[in-house]
Amino acid sequence: MATVQKDRSMQLQKDMIAEHFELLAHAEENHTPVVYTFVPGNLTELIRSFGALPVLPEINALQSGMRKQSADYIAEAERIGHSEDVCTYVKCDIGMMRTGNIGPAGTKLPKPDLLLLSYTGCYTFMKWFELLREEYQCPAVMFHVPYQGDGEMEPAHREYMIKQLKEQVIPALEKATGRAYDEEKLRYHLELSAKVEDDLVAVLQAGKLVPSPIEGYFGTVYYVGPIFSAFRGTEGGVEYYRALREEIEERAALGLGPVTPDGPLNDQKYRLVVEGPPNWTSFRDFWKIFYDEGAVAVASTYTKVGGLYDQGFRHDPSRPLETLADYCLGCYTNLSLPSRIDLIAKYIREYAADGFVIHSVKSCNSFSAGQLHMLRELERISGVPGCFLESDLVDSRYYGQANLKNRVESYLQMLDSRMRGERNVPTPPSKPDRVALKVAP
C-alpha cells in the first residue's frame, strides 16, 4: 500500500485543528463559552469577539464520515426515529451526540452555550438546530438570512439583517457568554479575516494556471477547512493561509500539479469544474477515480459555501455589522439556481475547463434539487459536456465505487475524443523562480 503523501500545509492545519479541539475539550473547566453554528453564513468573527469558541456540526459530521464512524452514528439516529430520507449530516451529528459526543479529534465536545442558527440557504439548518435544542436543552437564536431569489442583494434585506444582529443575535451572545459586545474586538477579527481571504483567493485562482498547482475540489476541501471552521479572523488563520499561498506559489513556479494521496498530479489531461459537496465516507477512493485518469478540478462550488471571496467579497472592518450581513447574503448556498448556473459557467470559462461534473448528494436538497436542470443549462451555455454523479455526504450506503468509476471513466473518454485538436487553454506563464499569484478584480 502506497504511503499517503501530504502537503506541508496539511500538517499545519492538522496541528491547528488539534489545538482547537483541545480547547473545546477543556472549555467547560476553563469557562470558555461555546457557540455552535453552521459553515454557510458563519459569524466566526462575532463569536470570537465574545471570547467564545465556535463548533461547526457539519465539519464534525464530515470528519466522522472520513473516519468511517458515520454509519454507526446514522444507525443510532435512525434507531431513535429519524427518517432514512433526511440529511445524513443531521443524523450523523445526533448519533454522535447520543453516543458520547466524541469529536473528530477523539475528545469530548462541550455542550453549546448557544446555538447560533445562521439560516443561510439551507432549510435543514433550521430543523437541525431545533433538534439540537431539544437534545442539549440550551438557548438558540435564529438569524434569518433572506434568500437571493432574484439574484441580487437588496438593501432592505441588509437592513433587516443588521437589525436582527443588533436586536437578537448580539443580545443572545451577550447573555450566553456573560460578556458585552465589543465592536473594536469585532473589527480586529474582521481585519484578520480580510487577510485570510486575500490569501485564500490567490490560492483558489491558481487553478487558472496550466498545469493547475491546486486540486480545486478534493484538494481544496483541505484548504478551506480552516476558513470554513474556526479560523477565519484569527492569527492562526492568517499564518496558515500565508503559508499555503507561498506553498502554492512555489509549486506554480516549478510547474507542478497538486499533491494527491498517491503523489503529485503533474500530468493533467482534463480540467474540470465541480458542483456539489463531495462524498466523505470514501473521499480518497472518489478522488482517486479522477486523478488516476489525469483529471484535475480547477474550480468548484462546494469550496465556496463558506463565502464567495473569489468573487470579490472581503470582510470589511470599517462596517462591521454590514459586512457580516453581506457575507451571509452572498454565500453560495444562498444564491438562486440561475445565479449558481452563471457562476459555474463563469468558472468553466475563466478556468478554461474541458468539462464539468455535478456531484449530487442525496442528503442535500439545497444543492441537489434542480441540479439536473443545471446540467442541461450549463451544457447549453458553456458548450462543454457535463457529467452527473450521485452519492451521499456521509452515508456509505449510497456510495457505489464501481458505478461512479464507470461513469467518470466513460465521461472522460468522451471528453478525450471531443478535446482532440480543439483544446483552448491559456498557456502557462513564463517560469520565474516564484509565481506571484494575483487576485483578480
Partner 1 sequence: MPGPAKGTRQPPSRAAIVEQVRELYDDLDFSSVRRWLAEHPTWKAAGYLPVYAPRELLHACGFLPIGIHGAGDRLEIIRGDAFYQSYICHLPRSVIEMAQSGRLDMLSAVLFPSTCDVIRNLSGIWKLLYPAVYVRYVDVPQGAKSEEAISFWENELQRLVDDLGALSGRRPTEADLRASVDLYNRVRAMIRRLYQLRQERPWDLPTEELYLLLRAGEMVPPEDFLTLAEDYLGAVAADPRRQRDNSRVVIAGAFCEQPPLGLIKSIERTGCYIVDDDFLLGNRFLTHDVSLEGNPIRTLAEAFVQNDLCSSVLYEIKPTGKKETMRDRAAACRADGIIFATASFCDPALLDQPMLRAGAEEAGIPCIAFKYAENTGQFQQFREQAGTFSDSIKLWGAS
Instruction: Point out which residues bind partner 1 (CB under 8 A).
Output: 80-83, 85-87, 90, 117, 119, 122-124, 126-128, 130-131, 133-134, 137, 139-144, 146-147, 149-150, 156-157, 160, 163-164, 167-168, 336-338, 340-341, 360, 362, 365-366, 368-373, 377, 390
Given the complex with partner 1, which of 123 and 235 has the nearer CB atom?
123
Q: How far is the CB of 50 from partner 1 (least distance, A)?
A: 20
Distance, in Å, from the CA atom of 144 to the CA atom of 165, rounded to the nearest integer, reads 10
Distance CA 289, CA 275 (A): 16
Shortest Cβ 270–partner 1 spacing (Å) = 25
Of the candidates 176, 168, 193, 190, the residue with the CA atom closest to the CA atom of residue 51: 176
The nearer residue to partner 1, 141 or 295, going by C-beta atoms, is: 141
Q: How far is the CB of 158 from partner 1 (least distance, A)?
A: 11
> Closest approach of Cβ 111 to partner 1, in Å?
15
Distance in angstroms (rounded) separating the CA atoms of residues 288 and 295? 10
Pick the closer one to partner 1 by CB: 4 or 75: 75
Cα separation of 160 and 157, whole Å? Answer: 5
How many CB atoms are closer than 10 A to CB 102? 16
Smaller CB distance to partner 1: residue 15 or 150? 150
What 3-state DSSP class applies to 113? coil
Of residues 32 and 365, the one with the C-beta less far from partner 1 = 365
Q: Which is nearer to partner 1, 16 or 97 (CB)?
A: 97
User: Shortest gap between Cβ of 332 and partner 1 (angstroms)?
Assistant: 13
| Cell numbers placing 122 | 439551507
DSSP state of 137: -
Rounded to whole angstroms, the maximal C-alpha distance in the chain is 66
Q: With the C-alpha atoms ordered 145, 149, 151, 152, is the resulting torsion angle positive or negative?
A: negative
| Cβ-count burial 109-123 (b if 16+ within 10 Å, e if not) | bbbbbbbbbbbbbbe
Q: Cβ 323 to partner 1, closest distance in Å?
A: 19
